[in-house]
Structure 1
Amino acid sequence: MLSNAIAALLNNCLVFEQHCQLCGQRPCASGVCAACVAALAPPAATRCPVCAAAAASSLVPCGHCLRAAPAFARLHAAYGYDYPLDGLISACKYGRQPALQGALASLLRQQLQSTPQRPEIDLVVAVPLAPPRLAERGFNLPDALAQAVAATIGGRIVHDLCVRKRNTAPQAALDRRQRLRNVRDAFCVKRRCDGLSIAIVDDVATTGATLDALAKALQKAGAKRVEAWVLARASDHKI
């Protein structure tokens, strides 16, 4: 009887080993094992120093940024939006798997820690979801990613500075021109941020329209400089 009770207690106290979310084979407390991290696709080797899109040179802005520079000073991308990272992000957001947020935030944190040059940042802001979509999904992945940015490069996270004024259509189904129109004036900044350097954080940049719209709203509120961080940069679109 006593041995059965002890066995039951041990079973209740067992800590199950967490395995890599990508390969499912190796034990990994951070969510993604070192081998899978090493295999993730980096951003384009030669990319625009402003928007991080694949470009002919990394020394000068791409033609599009020269013609119509985005409101943010620079976009920093940890990885390319390719297999298997794209599937992990989609599973988190659209497969309603909030537990994957920790693994994705860890990936961003590891990449930021290996970056020697880190700009001085005052505030860190996650790209907000509209309230109806946040209620439907139950979480906002950029919030977890913003925690990783703040923990690595510094800056104070603010959750209530920016709001999405309207429930915009999902960007994934739109072309570039539609995306720009979809998020135009979509964000509202609730108080002044004069003279501050602000980091804005999202999960994926495709055309960059969302980041550009949020950066414009922050600049209107007095931000001195806005830089953008994303976990993944899509390779088939330019901002």
Structure 2
Amino acid sequence: MAYSLRLREWVGSLTRWLPGECALCRSVVRGGLLCDVCAGEASHSMATPARRCPRCCLRLDARGHCHDCAALAPVFGQVFAAVDYAFPANLLLLQFKQQRRFVLAKTLAAFMADRMRDTRYVLPDDTILVPVPATKASLQRRGFNPAAELAGQLARQLGLGCHHHWLYRHHETGPQKFLSRQQRLAGTAGLFGCSSKVAGHRFAVIDDVMTTGSTLNAVSGVLLAAGATAVTGVVLARTPVRERLNDALSR
């Protein structure tokens, strides 16, 4: 096992210096990362001076209010999001999840780690990464859990611990993509459970997309109730309110 891990790390370090393709524009880049232009375009909205909620990273409305935290009363700490779920970053998520390109996890995790460094967002050294568990239906459809793939790769990028099975689902649910805020909140009640090993540890919950925050809040409540000392969220993409309205109108 130790030999296999060292071999995988050696191969990973080697591939960082080999030429590859940018996942968006297909230009030649080192190690299969995003090119600088596409990385800048994907994260552009996050770099704008628009005010954001200091807790959940959602862009505030014209009155300075956060739609999600007002309805949620979050128990989690600060959320880090690398990008908004909008063009062109949404194309990366579509490739990763809908086209089953799980190999993109390494590229996306490296991008997330770069964004964390750029914004000086630092997770304490004792933080343990835990992915949001996928449903059996999504695992059968995709063949992998996007959150788990990102968590494993991000843990290597940041030099942090990661436990894939400390968090689990008590029962299955349908896809949440087209559910309202109220339906999401109701659907996550009692959905998750966790290992007793979480007591005394600090956690960062990893997910690919955060929409209303109901899943993160449910997970955080379970971890804190089991004795976790702190829970934050780290996601690849944060869904703006306007994108949710577009989804609703397109149904």
With structure 1 as the length reference, what TM-score do the two structures score?
Answer: 0.82
CA gap of 1:165–1:130, structure 2 versus 1, over 3 A, is farther
**In the aligned structure 1, how far is the partner of 2:65 from the partner of 2:224?**
21
d(CA) in 2 for partners of 1:100 and 1:153? 17
CA–CA distance in structure 2, aligned partners of residues 67 and 131 of structure 1: 29
**2:182 aligns to what?**
177
Structure 1 residue aligned with 2:224:
219
TM-score scaled by length of structure 2: 0.78
C-alpha distance 27-122 of structure 1, shift in aligned 2 (>3 A): closer
Deviates most, 27-36 or 147-156: 147-156
- 1:34 aligns to 2:39 (yes or no): no
Following TM superposition, the consecutive aligned residue runs of length 4 or more in structure 1 with deviations greater than 6 angstroms are none
The offset of 1:209, in angstroms, is 1.1
Gap regions ≥5 residues in structure 2: 1-17, 245-251
Q: Which structure shows the bigger proportion of residues in helix conformation?
A: 2
The answer to whether the 8 Å contact 1:123/1:155 transfers is: yes
Tell me: CA distance 1:61–1:30, structure 2 relative to 1, closer, same or farther (3 Å): farther
- 1:91 equivalenced with 2:95 (yes/no): yes
Structure 2 equivalent of residue 233 of structure 1: 238
Structure exhibiting the larger radius of gyration computed from Cα positions: 1
Give the direction of change, closer, same or farther, for the CA distance of 1:67–1:32 in structure 2 (3 Å limit).
closer
Q: Percent identity?
A: 31
One-letter amino acid of the counterpart of residue 209, structure 1:
S
Q: How many residues align?
A: 221
Which 5+ residue runs of structure 1 have no aligned equivalent? 1-15
The worse-fitting range, judged by mean Cα deviation, of 147-156 and 208-217 is 147-156
CA RMSD of aligned residues (A): 2.5
1:13-162 mapped onto 2 (5 Å cutoff) = 17-40=19-42, 41-43=44-46, 45-55=50-60, 62=66, 65=69, 68-120=72-124, 121-162=126-167
In structure 2, give the amino acid aligned to 1:172. K
The aligned amino acid for 1:42 is S
Q: Structure 2: how far apart are the matches of 1:133 and 1:109?
A: 26
1:183-215 CA-to-partner distances (Å, cap 9, x unmatched) read: 221111022422321110101111111111111
Report the Cα distance in structure 2 between the residues aligned to 1:236 and 1:67, rounded to whole angstroms: 13
Between 1:64-73 and 1:109-118, the stretch displaced more is: 64-73
